[in-house]
Homo-oligomer: A and B are copies of this chain.
Amino acid sequence: MNKLNRIFTPGPVPIDEHILSIGAQQPPYNRTGDFSLLTHEILSSLKHLFQTDGEVALLTGSGTLTMEAAVLNFLTPYDKVLIVNGGTFGQRWCDLCRIHSIPFREIKLDAGADLDLDQLKNILGEEEVSAFLINAHETSTGQLYDIQAIGDIVHDACLLYIVDAISTICADPFQMDDWNVDVAILSSQKALALPPGLSFVAMSTNAIARLRKSKPKTLYMNLQDYLRNQERGQLPYTPAIGLLLQLHQRLMDIQQRTLPEIISQHRQRALDFRKSIIDLPLSILPERQSNAMTALLCDDLDAVQVVQGLRTNHAIEVAPSGGTLKHKLIRISHMGDQNSSDIDFIAASLAEIVMPKPVERII
Protein backbone atom coordinates (compact mmCIF):
# COMPACT_ATOMS: atom_id res chain seq x y z
CA MET A 1 0.00 0.00 0.00
CA ASN A 2 2.91 2.36 -0.65
CA LYS A 3 1.52 4.09 -3.70
CA LEU A 4 -1.37 6.27 -2.60
CA ASN A 5 -3.82 7.42 -5.24
CA ARG A 6 -5.62 10.74 -4.81
CA ILE A 7 -9.04 9.85 -3.51
CA PHE A 8 -12.33 11.43 -4.55
CA THR A 9 -14.38 8.67 -2.95
CA PRO A 10 -17.33 9.29 -0.60
CA GLY A 11 -15.44 7.73 2.31
CA PRO A 12 -12.62 7.45 3.05
CA VAL A 13 -11.91 11.10 2.18
CA PRO A 14 -8.67 13.12 2.19
CA ILE A 15 -7.84 14.17 5.74
CA ASP A 16 -6.13 17.38 6.91
CA GLU A 17 -2.44 16.89 7.70
CA HIS A 18 -2.72 18.14 11.27
CA ILE A 19 -5.60 15.73 11.96
CA LEU A 20 -3.65 12.86 10.44
CA SER A 21 -0.63 13.64 12.60
CA ILE A 22 -2.73 13.12 15.76
CA GLY A 23 -3.14 9.53 14.56
CA ALA A 24 0.51 8.95 15.46
CA GLN A 25 -0.06 9.78 19.14
CA GLN A 26 0.03 7.13 21.84
CA PRO A 27 -3.60 6.54 22.93
CA PRO A 28 -3.93 7.57 26.60
CA TYR A 29 -5.65 5.46 29.26
CA ASN A 30 -9.37 6.18 29.06
CA ARG A 31 -10.59 5.57 32.61
CA THR A 32 -9.39 8.97 33.82
CA GLY A 33 -10.77 12.42 34.54
CA ASP A 34 -8.78 13.88 31.63
CA PHE A 35 -10.42 11.47 29.23
CA SER A 36 -13.87 12.21 30.65
CA LEU A 37 -13.24 15.89 29.97
CA LEU A 38 -12.27 15.09 26.37
CA THR A 39 -15.43 13.00 25.92
CA HIS A 40 -17.65 15.75 27.32
CA GLU A 41 -16.13 18.28 24.91
CA ILE A 42 -16.63 15.88 22.00
CA LEU A 43 -20.26 15.22 22.91
CA SER A 44 -21.04 18.90 23.25
CA SER A 45 -19.58 19.62 19.80
CA LEU A 46 -21.37 16.66 18.24
CA LYS A 47 -24.69 18.03 19.45
CA HIS A 48 -23.84 21.25 17.65
CA LEU A 49 -23.03 19.29 14.48
CA PHE A 50 -26.44 17.60 14.53
CA GLN A 51 -28.10 20.84 15.68
CA THR A 52 -29.87 19.14 18.55
CA ASP A 53 -30.50 19.79 22.22
CA GLY A 54 -30.86 16.04 22.70
CA GLU A 55 -27.98 13.61 23.18
CA VAL A 56 -25.47 11.87 20.93
CA ALA A 57 -24.20 8.34 21.57
CA LEU A 58 -20.64 7.65 20.47
CA LEU A 59 -19.97 4.16 19.10
CA THR A 60 -16.90 2.45 17.70
CA GLY A 61 -17.91 0.84 14.40
CA SER A 62 -19.16 1.75 10.93
CA GLY A 63 -22.31 3.65 9.99
CA THR A 64 -24.15 0.36 9.53
CA LEU A 65 -23.59 -0.38 13.22
CA THR A 66 -25.47 2.79 14.14
CA MET A 67 -28.22 2.10 11.59
CA GLU A 68 -28.69 -1.24 13.33
CA ALA A 69 -28.52 0.45 16.74
CA ALA A 70 -31.30 2.85 15.69
CA VAL A 71 -33.51 -0.04 14.58
CA LEU A 72 -32.82 -2.12 17.70
CA ASN A 73 -33.31 0.71 20.20
CA PHE A 74 -36.28 2.51 18.68
CA LEU A 75 -38.36 -0.05 16.82
CA THR A 76 -40.15 -3.23 17.85
CA PRO A 77 -42.24 -5.88 16.06
CA TYR A 78 -45.28 -3.83 17.18
CA ASP A 79 -44.23 -0.92 14.97
CA LYS A 80 -45.16 -0.46 11.34
CA VAL A 81 -42.39 1.32 9.52
CA LEU A 82 -42.38 3.23 6.25
CA ILE A 83 -39.00 3.16 4.46
CA VAL A 84 -37.86 5.23 1.50
CA ASN A 85 -35.77 2.82 -0.57
CA GLY A 86 -33.94 4.70 -3.29
CA GLY A 87 -30.75 2.65 -3.41
CA THR A 88 -28.20 0.60 -1.47
CA PHE A 89 -28.70 2.41 1.82
CA GLY A 90 -32.48 2.54 1.65
CA GLN A 91 -32.29 -1.19 1.01
CA ARG A 92 -30.13 -1.48 4.15
CA TRP A 93 -32.96 -0.04 6.28
CA CYS A 94 -35.25 -2.69 4.75
CA ASP A 95 -32.73 -5.47 5.45
CA LEU A 96 -32.37 -4.34 9.06
CA CYS A 97 -36.13 -4.30 9.61
CA ARG A 98 -36.49 -7.72 8.00
CA ILE A 99 -33.70 -9.20 10.17
CA HIS A 100 -35.25 -7.77 13.34
CA SER A 101 -38.83 -8.75 12.44
CA ILE A 102 -40.07 -5.19 12.21
CA PRO A 103 -43.04 -4.86 9.83
CA PHE A 104 -42.35 -2.33 7.10
CA ARG A 105 -43.60 -1.00 3.83
CA GLU A 106 -41.11 0.45 1.39
CA ILE A 107 -41.50 3.30 -1.05
CA LYS A 108 -39.25 2.01 -3.78
CA LEU A 109 -37.82 4.81 -5.91
CA ASP A 110 -35.87 4.73 -9.16
CA ALA A 111 -32.18 5.54 -8.79
CA GLY A 112 -31.82 9.28 -8.28
CA ALA A 113 -35.57 9.96 -8.14
CA ASP A 114 -36.90 12.34 -5.50
CA LEU A 115 -39.65 11.44 -3.06
CA ASP A 116 -43.05 12.74 -4.17
CA LEU A 117 -44.46 14.46 -1.10
CA ASP A 118 -48.06 14.08 -2.27
CA GLN A 119 -47.50 10.36 -2.69
CA LEU A 120 -46.09 10.29 0.84
CA LYS A 121 -49.16 12.07 2.22
CA ASN A 122 -51.44 9.64 0.38
CA ILE A 123 -49.64 6.61 1.78
CA LEU A 124 -49.81 8.04 5.29
CA GLY A 125 -53.51 8.73 4.76
CA GLU A 126 -54.30 5.17 3.78
CA GLU A 127 -51.96 3.21 6.04
CA GLU A 128 -51.35 3.10 9.79
CA VAL A 129 -47.64 3.75 10.27
CA SER A 130 -45.61 4.44 13.43
CA ALA A 131 -42.13 5.31 12.16
CA PHE A 132 -40.46 6.68 9.05
CA LEU A 133 -36.94 5.72 7.90
CA ILE A 134 -34.92 7.48 5.24
CA ASN A 135 -31.34 8.19 4.16
CA ALA A 136 -31.00 11.97 3.90
CA HIS A 137 -28.38 11.53 1.20
CA GLU A 138 -28.70 8.18 -0.59
CA THR A 139 -24.96 7.88 -1.20
CA SER A 140 -25.37 5.16 -3.84
CA THR A 141 -27.16 7.57 -6.22
CA GLY A 142 -26.38 11.06 -4.90
CA GLN A 143 -30.04 11.83 -4.20
CA LEU A 144 -30.56 14.31 -1.35
CA TYR A 145 -34.11 14.14 -0.01
CA ASP A 146 -35.79 17.20 1.45
CA ILE A 147 -35.54 16.14 5.08
CA GLN A 148 -37.12 19.38 6.29
CA ALA A 149 -40.23 19.21 4.07
CA ILE A 150 -40.60 15.49 4.76
CA GLY A 151 -40.19 16.28 8.46
CA ASP A 152 -43.26 18.53 8.38
CA ILE A 153 -45.39 15.71 6.99
CA VAL A 154 -43.90 13.06 9.27
CA HIS A 155 -44.38 15.33 12.28
CA ASP A 156 -48.03 15.99 11.40
CA ALA A 157 -48.56 12.23 11.22
CA CYS A 158 -46.89 11.83 14.67
CA LEU A 159 -44.33 9.34 13.35
CA LEU A 160 -40.93 8.60 14.81
CA TYR A 161 -38.55 10.12 12.25
CA ILE A 162 -35.25 8.25 11.84
CA VAL A 163 -32.74 9.71 9.41
CA ASP A 164 -29.43 8.30 8.18
CA ALA A 165 -27.49 11.56 7.84
CA ILE A 166 -24.15 9.81 7.35
CA SER A 167 -22.98 11.51 4.17
CA THR A 168 -24.78 14.83 4.47
CA ILE A 169 -23.86 16.39 7.82
CA CYS A 170 -21.11 19.03 7.39
CA ALA A 171 -21.70 19.01 3.61
CA ASP A 172 -25.34 20.15 3.52
CA PRO A 173 -27.46 22.00 6.08
CA PHE A 174 -28.96 19.60 8.63
CA GLN A 175 -31.12 20.94 11.46
CA MET A 176 -32.15 17.95 13.47
CA ASP A 177 -34.42 19.62 16.05
CA ASP A 178 -35.87 22.27 13.73
CA TRP A 179 -36.69 19.63 11.13
CA ASN A 180 -38.43 17.36 13.66
CA VAL A 181 -35.91 14.54 13.27
CA ASP A 182 -36.01 12.16 16.25
CA VAL A 183 -32.99 9.97 15.54
CA ALA A 184 -30.11 10.80 13.21
CA ILE A 185 -26.90 8.93 12.53
CA LEU A 186 -23.48 9.92 11.26
CA SER A 187 -20.10 8.29 10.78
CA SER A 188 -16.60 9.67 10.90
CA GLN A 189 -15.31 9.09 7.36
CA LYS A 190 -17.65 11.32 5.33
CA ALA A 191 -17.86 15.14 5.49
CA LEU A 192 -16.58 15.02 9.06
CA ALA A 193 -13.35 14.13 7.24
CA LEU A 194 -11.85 11.69 9.71
CA PRO A 195 -10.64 8.12 9.29
CA PRO A 196 -13.43 5.51 9.40
CA GLY A 197 -14.15 3.72 12.69
CA LEU A 198 -16.49 5.95 14.70
CA SER A 199 -20.22 6.46 14.33
CA PHE A 200 -22.84 8.44 16.17
CA VAL A 201 -26.53 8.25 17.03
CA ALA A 202 -28.17 11.58 17.85
CA MET A 203 -31.47 11.51 19.71
CA SER A 204 -34.01 14.27 20.22
CA THR A 205 -35.49 14.75 23.69
CA ASN A 206 -38.59 12.95 22.38
CA ALA A 207 -36.46 10.01 21.24
CA ILE A 208 -34.64 9.88 24.59
CA ALA A 209 -37.97 9.61 26.42
CA ARG A 210 -38.88 6.72 24.13
CA LEU A 211 -35.44 5.13 24.63
CA ARG A 212 -35.98 4.90 28.39
CA LYS A 213 -38.80 2.41 27.81
CA SER A 214 -36.85 0.45 25.21
CA LYS A 215 -35.51 -3.06 25.88
CA PRO A 216 -33.21 -3.67 22.92
CA LYS A 217 -31.86 -7.19 22.48
CA THR A 218 -28.23 -6.11 22.26
CA LEU A 219 -25.39 -5.27 24.61
CA TYR A 220 -22.90 -3.49 22.33
CA MET A 221 -25.62 -1.37 20.72
CA ASN A 222 -27.65 -0.61 23.85
CA LEU A 223 -27.87 3.17 23.61
CA GLN A 224 -29.11 3.59 27.18
CA ASP A 225 -25.77 2.17 28.36
CA TYR A 226 -23.96 4.74 26.23
CA LEU A 227 -25.98 7.68 27.55
CA ARG A 228 -25.60 6.47 31.14
CA ASN A 229 -21.80 6.15 30.83
CA GLN A 230 -21.45 9.35 28.85
CA GLU A 231 -22.97 11.32 31.72
CA ARG A 232 -19.60 10.88 33.45
CA GLY A 233 -17.61 11.23 30.23
CA GLN A 234 -17.05 7.51 29.82
CA LEU A 235 -18.07 4.89 27.27
CA PRO A 236 -19.32 1.40 28.11
CA TYR A 237 -16.64 -0.42 26.06
CA THR A 238 -13.09 0.56 25.12
CA PRO A 239 -13.56 2.99 22.22
CA ALA A 240 -11.18 3.70 19.34
CA ILE A 241 -9.28 6.16 21.54
CA GLY A 242 -6.92 7.34 18.80
CA LEU A 243 -9.85 8.26 16.57
CA LEU A 244 -11.45 10.14 19.47
CA LEU A 245 -8.36 12.35 19.75
CA GLN A 246 -8.66 13.15 16.03
CA LEU A 247 -12.41 13.73 16.36
CA HIS A 248 -11.83 16.15 19.24
CA GLN A 249 -9.42 18.28 17.21
CA ARG A 250 -11.60 18.17 14.11
CA LEU A 251 -14.66 19.31 16.05
CA MET A 252 -12.65 22.21 17.51
CA ASP A 253 -11.56 23.15 13.97
CA ILE A 254 -15.16 23.09 12.75
CA GLN A 255 -16.31 25.22 15.64
CA GLN A 256 -13.57 27.74 14.93
CA ARG A 257 -14.28 27.93 11.20
CA THR A 258 -18.04 27.65 11.91
CA LEU A 259 -20.35 24.96 10.59
CA PRO A 260 -22.09 27.21 7.98
CA GLU A 261 -18.65 28.05 6.54
CA ILE A 262 -17.74 24.34 6.27
CA ILE A 263 -21.04 23.65 4.51
CA SER A 264 -20.66 26.56 2.09
CA GLN A 265 -17.16 25.35 1.27
CA HIS A 266 -18.63 22.00 0.20
CA ARG A 267 -21.28 23.83 -1.77
CA GLN A 268 -18.68 25.89 -3.60
CA ARG A 269 -16.59 22.83 -4.45
CA ALA A 270 -19.64 21.00 -5.78
CA LEU A 271 -20.69 24.00 -7.89
CA ASP A 272 -17.17 24.52 -9.26
CA PHE A 273 -16.81 20.87 -10.18
CA ARG A 274 -20.22 20.65 -11.83
CA LYS A 275 -19.54 23.80 -13.82
CA SER A 276 -16.18 22.51 -15.02
CA ILE A 277 -17.59 19.27 -16.44
CA ILE A 278 -20.68 20.77 -18.06
CA ASP A 279 -19.45 20.05 -21.60
CA LEU A 280 -18.50 16.44 -20.94
CA PRO A 281 -20.70 13.55 -22.09
CA LEU A 282 -21.83 12.92 -18.52
CA SER A 283 -25.16 13.67 -16.92
CA ILE A 284 -26.18 14.25 -13.35
CA LEU A 285 -28.25 11.35 -11.99
CA PRO A 286 -30.11 12.65 -8.90
CA GLU A 287 -33.04 15.04 -9.09
CA ARG A 288 -31.83 16.86 -5.98
CA GLN A 289 -28.11 16.93 -5.25
CA SER A 290 -26.02 16.95 -2.10
CA ASN A 291 -22.91 19.11 -1.85
CA ALA A 292 -21.12 15.99 -0.65
CA MET A 293 -20.83 14.26 -3.99
CA THR A 294 -21.64 14.36 -7.69
CA ALA A 295 -23.15 11.20 -9.19
CA LEU A 296 -22.63 11.09 -12.94
CA LEU A 297 -24.18 8.84 -15.57
CA CYS A 298 -21.56 8.00 -18.17
CA ASP A 299 -23.95 8.23 -21.13
CA ASP A 300 -22.38 6.10 -23.89
CA LEU A 301 -19.30 5.10 -21.89
CA ASP A 302 -18.77 2.16 -19.56
CA ALA A 303 -18.52 3.52 -15.99
CA VAL A 304 -16.25 0.65 -14.95
CA GLN A 305 -13.77 1.70 -17.64
CA VAL A 306 -13.97 5.35 -16.60
CA VAL A 307 -13.15 4.38 -12.99
CA GLN A 308 -10.33 2.16 -14.22
CA GLY A 309 -9.01 4.86 -16.58
CA LEU A 310 -8.87 7.45 -13.82
CA ARG A 311 -7.01 4.97 -11.62
CA THR A 312 -4.52 3.80 -14.24
CA ASN A 313 -3.84 7.02 -16.12
CA HIS A 314 -4.27 9.63 -13.39
CA ALA A 315 -3.81 7.78 -10.06
CA ILE A 316 -7.26 8.94 -9.01
CA GLU A 317 -9.82 6.90 -7.09
CA VAL A 318 -13.49 7.68 -7.67
CA ALA A 319 -16.31 5.46 -6.48
CA PRO A 320 -17.79 2.92 -8.85
CA SER A 321 -21.35 1.68 -8.39
CA GLY A 322 -23.00 -1.68 -7.92
CA GLY A 323 -25.98 -3.61 -9.24
CA THR A 324 -27.71 -2.21 -12.32
CA LEU A 325 -25.70 1.03 -12.08
CA LYS A 326 -22.34 -0.73 -12.23
CA HIS A 327 -21.59 0.12 -15.85
CA LYS A 328 -23.46 3.43 -15.81
CA LEU A 329 -22.60 5.55 -12.78
CA ILE A 330 -19.49 7.08 -11.22
CA ARG A 331 -19.51 9.04 -7.98
CA ILE A 332 -17.10 11.87 -7.20
CA SER A 333 -16.83 13.15 -3.66
CA HIS A 334 -16.37 16.77 -2.63
CA MET A 335 -15.75 15.84 0.99
CA GLY A 336 -12.54 16.09 2.97
CA ASP A 337 -9.40 18.12 2.47
CA GLN A 338 -9.81 19.34 -1.13
CA ASN A 339 -8.82 22.66 -2.69
CA SER A 340 -9.50 24.27 -6.05
CA SER A 341 -6.49 22.64 -7.70
CA ASP A 342 -7.85 19.23 -6.67
CA ILE A 343 -11.11 20.09 -8.39
CA ASP A 344 -9.29 21.28 -11.51
CA PHE A 345 -7.28 18.07 -11.46
CA ILE A 346 -10.24 15.69 -11.19
CA ALA A 347 -12.21 17.66 -13.79
CA ALA A 348 -9.30 17.71 -16.27
CA SER A 349 -8.53 14.03 -15.70
CA LEU A 350 -12.16 13.13 -16.18
CA ALA A 351 -12.24 15.12 -19.43
CA GLU A 352 -9.21 13.22 -20.73
CA ILE A 353 -10.85 9.90 -19.98
CA VAL A 354 -14.31 10.61 -21.34
CA MET A 355 -13.23 12.82 -24.27
CA PRO A 356 -9.84 11.48 -25.33
CA LYS A 357 -8.09 13.69 -27.87
CA PRO A 358 -7.94 12.08 -31.30
CA VAL A 359 -4.50 10.62 -32.05
CA GLU A 360 -2.61 13.10 -34.23
CA ARG A 361 -2.17 11.82 -37.72
CA ILE A 362 1.42 11.08 -38.71
CA ILE A 363 2.09 12.74 -42.04
Contacts and interface: CB of A to CB of B under 8 A. Distances in A.
A5 B23 contact: no
A4 B24 contact: no
A340 B225 CA distance: 40
Contacts of A242: 23, 195-197, 243
Interface in A181-223: 187, 189, 195-197, 217-220
Give the size category of A's interface with B: 35 or more
A67 B243 CA distance: 22
A261 interface: no
Contact of A240 (B5, B92, B240, B311): B240
> Which among A14, A21, A23, A317 has the greatest number of chain B C-beta atoms within 10 A?
A23
Contact of A317 (B29, B196, B237): B29
Interface string A67-99: 110000000000000000000000010011001
A248 B1 CA distance: 10
Contact of A63 (B23, B34, B68, B238): B238
Interface of A: 1, 3-5, 7, 9, 11-12, 14-15, 20-32, 34-35, 38, 59-65, 67-68, 92, 95-96, 99-101, 187, 189, 195-197, 217-220, 236-243, 245, 248, 311, 317, 319-320
